[in-house]
């Protein structure tokens, strides 16, 4: 166990977890902000996909 089983450990766990969660989810947000660039690759014909579904 990296975090000690004490109140100080609970504070440390909470602080590190909350901080890292913000960083990680911001990273996901950043990646999503780049998603419009995918549209430069072209467009998918949805009608064609729907016609051929199994």
Partner 1 sequence: MLDQFVFFLRALKDQTGLEHFWWGNLVMIAIGATMIYLAVSKRYEPLLLVGIGFACIISNVPGSDLILPGGLFNYAYQGVALLIIPPLIFFGVGAMTDFGPMIANPKLVILGAAAHLGIFVALIGAKALGFTINEAGAIGIIGGADGPMAIFVTMKLAPHLLPQISVAAYSYMALMPLIQPPVMKLLTSRQERLIVMKQNRQVSRLERIAFPIVIGVLVNLFFPPVAPLITMLMLGNLFKEVLVVDRLAKTAANGLMNVIIIILTVAIGSTMAADTFLTVKTVEIVVLGLVAFLFGTGSGVLGAKLMNLFLKDKINPLLGSAGIASVPIAARVAHLVALQENKENYLIYHAMGPNLAGVFGTAISGGIMLALLGVK
Residues that bind partner 1 (CB under 8 A): 1-7, 9-11, 13-18, 20-22, 24-26, 28-33, 35-36, 38-39, 41-44, 46, 49-50, 52-54
- Shortest Å, Cβ 9 to partner 1: 6
- Shortest Å, Cβ 17 to partner 1: 5
Residues 42, 51: contact at Cβ < 8 Å?
no
- Shortest Å, Cβ 43 to partner 1: 7
Written as six digits, the tokens of 30 are 């950043």
Burial of 25 (0-12, 13-18, 19+ CB in 10 A): exposed
């Amino acid at each position: 166990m990296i975090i000690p089983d004490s109140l100080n450990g609970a504070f440390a766990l909470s602080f590190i977890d909350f901080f890292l969660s913000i960083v990680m989810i911001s990273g996901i947000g950043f990646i999503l902000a780049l998603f419009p660039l995918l549209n430069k690759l072209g467009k998918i014909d949805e009608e064609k996909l729907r016609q051929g579904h199994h």
